[in-house]
Amino acid sequence: MSALLRLERASLRYGQILGLSPTSFELPEGGGITGLLGPNGSGKSTLIQMVSGLLPPSSGTVEVFGQAPFRNPAVLSRIGLVPEGDRFPTGLKARRWLRMMGELSGLQGPALEAALEETLALVGMEHRADLPFAAMSKGMRQRIRLAQALMHRPELLILDEPFNGLDPEARLTLMDLLRRLAAGSTRVLVSSHILSEVAQLTDRILLLFRGRLLAEGSVPEIRELLDRHPVELRLVAESAQAVARWAVEHGELVALRLEESGAVLAVRNPRSFLPKLQDAAARGELPLRALDPIDLNLDAVFQYLTKDHA
């Protein structure tokens, strides 16, 4: 499958400041969602500005649809961008705003009106588009921003921190909409620091930290690369001391904390430790009543990676 987006050792400098170290990755053609994750200052927005054609790379190459996107109308017409934050004129109505943006993207006449109504229906704002922006919630404004990016039916949709400030219901609505878009032919690239939510949304993950690409792949694939990652387990047992003694003898312990009902362990190589633990419990060597993995999720992986590369 050919690449929709390709970076080859692409970097960007702001004067003497390195915003993004040489970075290489590809996104395939066709629908799907890729998550771009990292804390503030990790290089997410810098990468997005290069991919969306707002800035050229300082070195290396960026190709979208086989061409450099910077100042390239043929490429930019196939990209939809939802930047972080909004600066809507508060007194303007959303429908009028979208009509103006559609005209700027080259839509006119019946084609413009059809695209406007279809897009408003797609984002669930067809009955609220005549409200002024001042009367809209943040979630409603976010849907209008998404509608603006979708008016010209882009093949690549890029969203920078789209979940910031949204309430849980608005986040779920946006996630559902992005899934529906990706189920078609739209490739979605979404950046965020809300790791647990984006982990549910994406089929591929890029982790950035301090301008460096640390890892890429699905969450399970990333975990495969991180056998060194300490995993926390809560063991519920009749004797916390017995659990602690057994763990010291059989586990690659990083930390141990006794609790009233058992112990919390931080262990390395959980794939080798857990079978030993289960066997010991089955043989009656360990008075284990319950086992609860605390941090088998993307947040733990991310924190471990960033700590490891700090």
Domains of the chain with bracketed CATH = 3-224 (3.40.50.300), 231-309 (3.30.70)
Give me 133's structure tokens.
Answer: 């922006």
Q: Which strand (E) or helix (H) includes residue 26?
A: strand 17-28
Rg, the chain, Cα only: 24
Strand partners, 257: 264
- The answer to whether residue 21 scores a pLDDT higher than 60 is yes
Banded model confidence at residue 89, pLDDT cuts 50, 70, 90 = very high
Instruction: Give CA angle at 167 (44, 191), nearest 5°.
Output: 10
With beta carbons less than 8 A apart as the criterion, state whether 28 and 195 touch: no
Q: At what angle do helices 109-122 and 138-150 cross, to 10 degrees?
A: 140
Summary mean pLDDT of the chain = 88
Ramachandran assignment for 60, one of left (phi > 0), alpha (psi -120 to 50 degrees), beta (any other): left
Three-state SS for 97? helix
- Output the pLDDT for position 228: 62
What b/e sequence results for 15-52 when a residue is b if at least 16 CB atoms lie within 10 Å of its CB, and e otherwise?
eeebbbebbebebeeebbbbbbbbeeebbbbbbbbbbb
Q: Tell me how crowded residue 2 is: count the other CB atoms within 10 A of its CB.
A: 10
What is the pLDDT, as a whole number, of residue 74?
Answer: 96
Does residue 307 or residue 243 have the better pLDDT? 243
What is residue 225's predicted lDDT score, i.e. its pLDDT? 62
Per the rule left: phi > 0, alpha: psi between -120 and 50, beta: everything else, 217 is left
- Range name among 6-20, 111-125, 279-293 with the lowest pLDDT average: 279-293
Tell me the pLDDT band of 226, cut-offs 50, 70 and 90.
Answer: low
Q: Is 309 or 125 the better-scoring residue by pLDDT?
A: 125
Average pLDDT rounded to a whole number, residues 294-310: 58
142-184 pLDDT, tens digit per residue, is 999 999 999 999 999 999 999 888 888 888 899 999 999 999 9
**CA dihedral angle for residue 180, residue 185, residue 189, residue 194, rounded to 10 degrees:** 20
Inform me whether the pLDDT recorded for 25 exceeds 70.
Answer: yes
Least confident of 60-64, 124-128, 189-193, 244-248: 244-248
pTM over 0.85: no
